Amino acid sequence: MRIHDESLANSWMGPGFRPHPLLRSSHLMSIVPGFLPRPLRRFARGGKRRIFKIDEKTSLLGYCHFREGADSDNPTVLLLHGLEGSSESSHVLGIGYKAFMNGFNVVRLNMRNCGGSIDYAESLYHAGLYADPLKVIETLLGERPNSKFILCGYSLGGNLLLNSAIAAGSSQCETARGQSSGFKSENSILAVCTVSPCIDLAAAVDTIEKPENQIYQNWFLRTMKQKITEKAKQQRRSFDISSMKSIKTIREFDDRFTAPDGGYGTAERYYFEASAKSRLKDINIPCLIIASKDDPLVPFESFATLDISNDMIELLITSEGGHGGFFQESQEEEDHFDQFWAENRVVAYIREVSSRAKNGT
């Protein structure tokens, strides 16, 4: 595992991170960037709406941006959002737009029930469903047989895609619940990139339960409860929502709904089995992990305690950056990129990985 700090000058990854002076608080850095106006609506509207069938009871909603002409054979970047996000999340659109403008095909994928797809799956989404993106890749390979893919995810989506990459490279290729994903095309995945991935779910939940993080817990719980209430009204599943008002934490929600629905039984078991941390040593494709020491949701100890002798992993650590924020002051070295530093590093990484793959190095 190669560890880098924010001083990346003279590296192919681009300039180091210089946080915007108005966002030195980790909470401001985590919240504000997602609400800043960005010219991404035209890109979002250009995506072709796709329904990807996972099984008889499950489909995923995605948006495909495929290039034409000579660029159509370039790798496809598959993007996945975080907890209670969607394919419309700012960072998904940001990386998607930049990747597309750099010649890549792009697929913005929603987890189960997210992004307006509540009717497409009977089950709830969770961090252990890493066979889902692999099924989407296999579907696309059936249409474009020689395609190559790069996986990019934020937060919960980052953890899920790390597990997808590990599972794809496994001879058994099994999910956390022992169900085979059936993935047979591991050589089609070139790399995986993650920003603020919650690789230790239990530690992340412990952190979000701290009093100073109540704003995040309340925000997530509000929409999580909305989803489960809507699914109960569908009458396709018998979710007992009678105790909904008594649920005050994400842990309680997961113990009551997410873990039993996913076959884990308890939240404790779910967090242990669906976390990527203990399996990162097995990843066998290039992997970029970007994390901040001041992340208020994903404790830095999750990364500081990693003891992995795996040169496939590039761990990029910054002192500031919050949770997925990484909004920087303007830098001339960014070329045509903007102030969303982590997005820019991801795109720089996928360009480098793609170039190496093309040249056979």
Q: What residues are paired with 63 via a beta bridge?
A: 49, 108
Q: Using alpha carbons, select from 287, 263, 288 the residue that is nearest to residue 274.
A: 263
pLDDT given for residue 357 in this prediction = 87
Predicted model pTM: 0.92
In terms of pLDDT, which residue wins out, 8 or 319? Answer: 319
Q: How far apart are the first and last CA of the chain?
A: 19
Per-residue confidence at 110, pLDDT binned at 50, 70, 90? very high
What's the average model confidence in pLDDT over 32-55?
A: 94
d(C-alpha 56, C-alpha 81), whole Å = 24
CA dihedral 336, 338, 339, 343 (to 10 degrees): -100
In terms of pLDDT, which residue wins out, 173 or 356? Answer: 356
Q: What is the mean pLDDT of the chain?
A: 90
Burial of residue 353 (number of CB atoms within 10 Å: 0-12, 13-18, 19+): buried
Distance of CA 338 to the CA centre of its chain: 21
Q: What residues are paired with 316 via a beta bridge?
A: 4, 290
In terms of pLDDT, which residue wins out, 86 or 311? Answer: 86
What's the average model confidence in pLDDT over 306-311?
A: 79
Contact 164, 191 (CB under 8 A): no
Residue 178 pLDDT > 60: no
Per-residue confidence at 153, pLDDT binned at 50, 70, 90? very high
Domains of the chain, each with CATH number or no CATH: 2-201+277-359 (3.40.50.1820)
Residue 8 pLDDT > 80: no
What's the average model confidence in pLDDT over 203-208?
A: 97
Q: Is 178 left (phi over 0), alpha (psi -120 to 50) or beta?
A: left
pLDDT given for residue 11 in this prediction = 65
